[in-house]
Amino acid sequence: MSEAPLIQLEGITKTFGTGPAAFQALKGVDLSIERGDFVAIMGPSGSGKSTTMNILGCLDTPTSGIFRFRNVEVQSLSRDQRSLLRRRYLGFVFQGFNLLARTTALENVELPLLYRGESKKARREAAERSLDKVGLLPWAGHTPAELSGGQQQRVAIARALVSDPDVLLADEPTGNLDTERSIEIMELLRDLSRSGITVLMVTHEEEMAEFARTIVHFRDGLVQRVVEGKRREVAE
């Protein structure tokens, strides 16, 4: 009866390097994530949370184990097949925003649609809709240098959303922001998860993790515990 989880990790390991210098970042991670969940991944540095995030983002492949996404075994896909998966189903938000410099907010948001072969008109309309969702439509013509950190991160979220992804992956999305801006971003992510998008977020800030529905703690390359988040609400 119950639908298979959107994301399933089974016995995932990841080793960097070979020989005596080899370092095992993941030592057998098992994890299931349901569609529409808002997951915060926490843990000290070196605990394997970023490596897990790269694997979940189809940017990297595990050394061993099974990673099922939409019932597709991602670990056996080619590089280009994983690119197509990212293009179609995933959106990325990074700590450093990673917007293209000297390129307007609108053009940055249009970028993923370019690789989908959408027409110029369709790209423009979708990008404007997406910027509107994050409340930045009036800034569409500004370049990243002309925007604040919080605004840049919202442009990045608009870019991640423009292709209508199943999963939004956010790697320390508030790492470069002050508390007030961070909370704005978290509310945005929470609202997105309520609209049906699965949000996976790496953070080391307890305060930010409180917005999530599920908190996954990593330690020494293993999932230490999974707890229910507080689904924090901010008083208006």
Partner 1 sequence: MRLRMLGATFLLALREIRRHLLRSFLTTLGIIIGVAAVITMVTLGRGLTANVQEDIAGLGSNVFIVFPESVEERQPAPFDDMDVAAVERQIPGVVNAAGSSQTPAVAFHNGQDWSTTVQGADAAFFAAQSIEVVEGRGFSQRESERGESVCILGPKIVDEIFVEDAVLGETMRVGNVSCLVVGVIDERSNAVGGGQDADDVVLMPLKTVQRRFTGGTNIQFFVVKYDDSYTSASIQQQLIDLLRERRVIQEGEANDFNIVDTADINDTVNNVTGTMTAVVTVIAAISLLVGGIGIMNIMLVSVTERTREIGIRLAIGALAKEVRLQFLTEAVVLCCFGGLIGILLAFGLSITLASAIDLPFLFDPTVNIISFLFSAAMGMIFGYYPAHQASKLDPIDALRHE
Residues near partner 1 (CB under 8 A): 54, 57, 59-60, 79-80, 83-88, 90, 92, 94, 98-100, 102, 111-112, 114-120, 159, 163
DSSP state letter for 103: S
Q: Which is nearer to partner 1, 8 or 94 (CB)?
A: 94
Q: Which is nearer to partner 1, 160 or 186 (CB)?
A: 160
Nearest approach, Cβ of 79 to partner 1 (angstroms)?
7
Q: Which is nearer to partner 1, 68 or 88 (CB)?
A: 88
90: enclosing H helix or E strand:
strand 90-93
Q: Which is nearer to partner 1, 102 or 225 (CB)?
A: 102
Q: Which is nearer to partner 1, 37 or 118 (CB)?
A: 118
End-to-end CA distance of the chain: 40
Helix axes 149-161, 105-114, angle to 10 degrees: 20
Nearest approach, Cβ of 119 to partner 1 (angstroms)?
7
Nearest approach, Cβ of 171 to partner 1 (angstroms)?
9
Q: Which is nearer to partner 1, 122 or 234 (CB)?
A: 122
Structure tokens at 102: 């000297």
Among the listed residues 121, 127, 133, 125, the one whose alpha carbon sits nearest the alpha carbon of residue 106:
127
Nearest approach, Cβ of 228 to partner 1 (angstroms)?
30
Structure tokens at 30: 């098992």
DSSP string, 109-147: HHHHHHTTT--HHHHHHHHHHHHHHTT-GGGTT--GGGS
Q: How far apart are alpha carbons 92 and 205 in whole angstroms?
A: 19
Residue 92 sits at the vertex; the CA angle it makes with 216 and 54, to the nearest 5 degrees, is: 55
Nearest approach, Cβ of 78 to partner 1 (angstroms)?
10
Nearest approach, Cβ of 227 to partner 1 (angstroms)?
28
